[in-house]
Amino acid sequence: MLISEVLLLEYDRQRAIQALGDSLWLAVLRENTGLWDYDRAKFAEFALNNKNSKGEYIKNALNNPEQQRRMSDVTMRSIEDVDPTNNKQYTQWMARMYINGSERHIEDVESTLATYVDKFHKLKIKNKLPPNERDINRYRTATELYTVMDRYEDPEQDAKGRANKVYEDADVTVVVPLDQDAACNYGRQTRWCTAATKGHNAFEEYNRQGPLYILIPKTPRYDREKYQIHFESGQYMNEVDDPVGLPFLLQNRFPGLYEFFKNNEKTAALMQDMVVFTPDNVLEKLTDQIWELIHDRVSDIITDWEANDDSYYSWLRDEGYVDEEGDVDWNNAPAYTEYNDDARRWIMDIEEFAHLSPSKLKRIVTDLFENGSVDDDTVYNLETFIAQNIREEMRRDSYGADAIADWIDRHIRIIKTDQGPKVTTIKSK
């Protein structure tokens, strides 16, 4: 490449970054922290209120223009690398799709989005698109592009690759791709990063961890229905790369598959860690132990509530709960929760939404996983499920529910031991 061409590319990149402003590095910050709906103001508030490693990382990013520049530059370079054109005509549009959350992860920009942009470009230069579909900027989200491109056959079809058919019954055929070509072939017309034919294909990363199982329905319920399961990473995706509950796939959609995976020693061990397949007695023991820890924190909050409620002490004196010296007679005085109905109801609500039965916990985890709120559905993420349930069910609470949920996130962990999952606590520094 000529020096003039390098300088032009560098100049164009910087202009593109400047045109996007802070939005590009803030998108990187959202991905790195998992705080998907945060803007700069919310990040600043988070950093102020959280003195942990995540808070420090956010604080450093907000206060370091050079770090912001590097985040933007590295990300833009990654997108440029998968733009199918020499003059990078799609790079800025792809960056906007990352910024607006159409594709939250740069890995998916480099794989799924890049594959669809490549398909769009090939169809465009082959004059296979009508005028109203030829302008990339008409697509406001990546999904809009995907929907239109799915109507067209791929302009090119590469090698078939090697794969093993590991299971088949009247409902489904299950294939394990052995190389990237097979992953692309069996993943045609899906949005999986393992089926990307342009840019970064993630097949090798996943395959090193464990096999990918591609589920091909014998009688599809809708056009292009297909699923991909990867137990090691806890990803169970449909054809548009949205998470699907494993219980739905193994117990409802393809019931024969449950026994197949249960009889496989490796997948059976991984399934046992998933909340939905964990024995009820194990879940009950864990949730009981977590509740004991939470209850201690609840008691601390109620104690603070009581200590700052002057009306309670006035009421005790007015009602005659005093000794001969005029001090409150704590041996006979009613508990604070007997005086304050709000405090009593608050404790009951916390227990209802934190001390969950195994059946309710399994329903909650299934819902959280299927709507994309969590990407780890194992017992080793149990404290997160409970904290999120408290936040969701008590979001209108004006006293302390968020504090309890935040405390759970900071102080409770489930660790793996030879005896099974175990509840531990992390002390404050």
Domain limits, the chain: 3-149, 163-273, 277-425
**pLDDT exceeding 70 applies to what percent of the chain?**
95
Run of H or E including 292 = helix 280-307
Across the range 244-251, mean pLDDT stands at 87
Picking from 218, 227, 236, the residue whose alpha carbon sits closest to that of residue 172 is 218
- Residue 399 CA to residue 10 CA, distance in Å, equals 52
H-state helical runs in 150-198: 180-186
**pLDDT exceeding 90 applies to what percent of the chain?**
65
Strands 213-217 and 172-177: antiparallel
For residue 282, pLDDT beyond 70: yes
- Is residue 368 a contact partner of residue 385, using CB atoms and an 8 Å limit? yes
For residue 3, pLDDT beyond 70: no
At residue 385's C-alpha, the angle toward residues 380 and 387, to 5°, is 115
- Residue 133 CA to residue 138 CA, distance in Å, equals 8
Confidence of residue 79 (pLDDT cuts 50, 70, 90): very high
At residue 97's C-alpha, the angle toward residues 93 and 98, to 5°, is 120
3-state secondary structure of 402: helix
Q: Please, what is the angle between helix 142-149 and helix 114-125, to 10°?
A: 50
- Is residue 7 a contact partner of residue 13, using CB atoms and an 8 Å limit? no
Confidence of residue 429 (pLDDT cuts 50, 70, 90): low
The pTM (predicted TM-score) of the whole model is 0.59
- Is residue 235 a contact partner of residue 361, using CB atoms and an 8 Å limit? no
Q: What is the secondary structure of 300-358 as a DSSP string?
A: HHHHHHHHT-HHHHHHHHHTT-B-TTSSB-TTTSPPHHHH-HHHHHHHHHHHHHHS--H
Confidence of residue 30 (pLDDT cuts 50, 70, 90): very high
The residues, ordered by sequence, that sit 6+ positions from 415 with a Cβ below 8 Å of its Cβ are 380, 421, 422, 424
Specify the range with the lowest mean pLDDT, choosing from 67-76, 283-292, 303-312, 317-326.
Answer: 317-326
Q: Please, what is the angle between helix 3-20 and helix 23-33, to 10°?
A: 80
- Residue 312 CA to residue 314 CA, distance in Å, equals 5
The more confidently predicted of residues 2 and 68 is: 68
Confidence of residue 327 (pLDDT cuts 50, 70, 90): confident
Give me the pLDDT at residue 158, please.
57
For residue 11, pLDDT beyond 50: no
- Residue 133 CA to residue 149 CA, distance in Å, equals 9
Across the range 192-208, mean pLDDT stands at 91
- Residue 340 CA to residue 359 CA, distance in Å, equals 32
Backbone angles phi, psi at 415, to 5 degrees: -115, 160
The residues, ordered by sequence, that sit 6+ positions from 146 with a Cβ below 8 Å of its Cβ are 116, 191, 240
Chain position carrying tokens 């294939």: 175
Cα separation values, 208 from 24, 155, 177, Å: 31, 30, 12
For residue 356, pLDDT beyond 70: yes
